[in-house]
A and B are shown apart, each in its own frame.
Chain A
């Protein structure tokens, strides 16, 4: 059975880690054809061809497919759908935008944020902010699935698979791009970083977040934040770790001034080693932390930054 995998392409560049993780999840379902779309996508297609498990790459370059707009990309996927039993993607904001539209156009349900593959029609996915895991069996002919990247390892590399160029479908012309405000950063991407340092409401202000960033830079880490910190305006929303933000599973997660609300824990509890620094020894974060330090973060974080 064949699988069509929508690769994550941003401004012509392949998001290798997210795509390779989705390939790992998709491989067990059948031969994987990766689809790279964008205003430019050739370089991304070449990179996707080298992900172990990709049998073929389809590359569609057209202005209408640029800038993450859902309508044109969904129309293209639907035009290809007849050849595939599974249409999958890593669960990025782009895929979350596009795949439910594809599913509705095919009159099938979508399976979002899938964390486990049982068989070709049975999948596990977290519900209630990760407080329960549901196993569901799809009765639809085509299964449209986004994979939660934090639960799959990235596929390795291989000799390049063939790349075929295809054309875009007619642009429905429903929406157009105005601008992107991308946070400029030399730090690793939050969902693929090996180390994440996150701050919560306890940090107290946007200025104080510099302390978290300093520790992160010392460790080559990505910076995260709890929803409470984001809601308080201390940190931007794309730093948010949790059910309503990003789900991460790094080798090391350092939670600073984070109490550990259920919704935050859902976004980081699969991390390999968790460190919590909080002055409240009753904070729920300590129940999931491998190493807990009850201390004033304004003393402990600079000291930790210095001693690491």
Chain B
């Protein structure tokens, strides 16, 4: 079985986000970029499936600017077999919407015929939480979102999902789209020898036009602003003082 893993290049989760002064977006020039953390978990799960003999080839895909090839190299260094880079924008500030990404991914699925698509549940930049569900809709495949456990068993998979109030296990028909949540696994670090080896692994370069997909945004960004700052309060010296203050403001 082939496994397709889409990965997104996003601002590193440790970097403090700065809104541009003209309100046009978040400043991404000269800031550290990394693989979306949820996508790292998806890559790790795909590699574990291969190690367990359930998958025989893992293809990483990234759709965005040319620099996304660095993110794909990371996926290759972790252990994916090959990569497809789809260039859909020139400016690092252009975010390709999940709908367009899903359309391109659906075309790649038609070409590559994977048995499973493993995605992160959301990207930490636009926080949309949509791409996996959209790919599933376009392909008419089954979907299992927010997975914390995945067991492939022949023509179906048992997936435990993180839902409001607890956990749910569902059985989905293969091929399927599974989007992964935090507790599925802990992604490995790429070792130096593997980073060197990854440089020789194949990476196809395509454009959105190759798949006939229009990436024009449906949502126009009117403005981007800083959230309202919350003013710092006071320090209290003791539990008694804390209880008194809470009573004073009517909080207890």
Binding site for B on A (CB under 8 A): 10, 67-71, 74, 92-94, 96-105, 107-113, 122, 125-140, 172-183, 189, 191, 219, 227, 230-231, 236-238, 243-244, 246, 251-252, 262-263, 269, 272-275, 281, 286-295, 300, 303-304, 307-308
Q: Does B94 lie at the interface of the complex (its beta carbon under 8 Å from any beta carbon of A)? A: no
Binding site for A on B (CB under 8 A): 11, 13, 16-17, 19, 26, 97-99, 102, 124-138, 140-146, 148, 158, 161-173, 181-183, 217-227, 230, 232-236, 238-240, 242-243, 245-246, 249, 251-252
The answer to whether A293 touches B235, judged by C-beta atoms less than 8 angstroms apart, is: yes
Asked whether A128 and B232 contact (CB < 8 A) given A100-B130, A109-B218, A181-B167, the answer is no
The answer to whether A93 touches B239, judged by C-beta atoms less than 8 angstroms apart, is: no
Measured between beta carbons, the chain B residues less than 8 angstroms from A103 are 99, 130, 134, 137
The answer to whether A131 touches B17, judged by C-beta atoms less than 8 angstroms apart, is: yes
**What's the least CB distance linking B175 to chain A, in Å?**
10
The answer to whether A110 touches B26, judged by C-beta atoms less than 8 angstroms apart, is: no
Pick the most buried of A92, A103, A262, A295: most chain B CB atoms within 10 A of its CB: A103
The answer to whether B165 touches A113, judged by C-beta atoms less than 8 angstroms apart, is: no
A162 CA to B242 CA in the complex, in Å? 50
The answer to whether A304 touches B99, judged by C-beta atoms less than 8 angstroms apart, is: no
Closest to B166 in A: A182
Asked whether A132 and B127 contact (CB < 8 A) given A183-B165, A237-B148, the answer is no
Closest to A181 in B: B167
Pick the most buried of B13, B17, B165, B230: most chain A CB atoms within 10 A of its CB: B165
Measured between beta carbons, the chain A residues less than 8 angstroms from B227 are 126, 130-133, 269
A-B contact pairs, 30 of them (CB 8 A): A67-B170, A94-B164, A100-B132, A100-B134, A101-B134, A101-B137, A104-B135, A105-B137, A108-B99, A110-B98, A122-B222, A126-B127, A128-B124, A132-B226, A134-B221, A175-B170, A176-B170, A178-B169, A236-B166, A238-B166, A252-B246, A262-B16, A269-B230, A275-B242, A286-B235, A287-B230, A287-B232, A292-B234, A293-B236, A308-B243
The answer to whether B165 touches A182, judged by C-beta atoms less than 8 angstroms apart, is: yes
The answer to whether B219 touches A137, judged by C-beta atoms less than 8 angstroms apart, is: yes
In terms of DSSP, what is the predominant structure of the interface of chain A?
Answer: mixed
A127 CA to B129 CA in the complex, in Å? 11
Asked whether A104 and B239 contact (CB < 8 A) given A122-B222, A128-B125, A181-B166, the answer is no
**What's the least CB distance linking A197 to chain B, in Å?**
12
Asked whether A100 and B98 contact (CB < 8 A) given A174-B142, A275-B242, the answer is yes
Q: Which 4 A-B pairs have the closest CB atoms?
A: A174-B142, A290-B233, A100-B130, A100-B133
Measured between beta carbons, the chain B residues less than 8 angstroms from A180 are 166-169
Measured between beta carbons, the chain A residues less than 8 angstroms from B134 are 100-101, 103-104, 110
A139 CA to B154 CA in the complex, in Å? 43
**What's the least CB distance linking B28 to chain A, in Å?**
11
CB-contact partner of A172 in B140, B162, B168, B243, under 8 A: B140
A122 CA to B221 CA in the complex, in Å? 10
Pick the most buried of A130, A182, A294: most chain B CB atoms within 10 A of its CB: A182
Asked whether A110 and B239 contact (CB < 8 A) given A96-B145, A132-B17, A135-B221, the answer is no
Measured between beta carbons, the chain A residues less than 8 angstroms from B128 are 100, 110, 112
Asked whether A127 and B165 contact (CB < 8 A) given A138-B219, A175-B144, the answer is no
The answer to whether A307 touches B133, judged by C-beta atoms less than 8 angstroms apart, is: no
Measured between beta carbons, the chain A residues less than 8 angstroms from B219 are 109, 111, 136-139
Asked whether A113 and B246 contact (CB < 8 A) given A101-B133, A174-B172, the answer is no
A113 CA to B127 CA in the complex, in Å? 9
Measured between beta carbons, the chain A residues less than 8 angstroms from B97 are 109
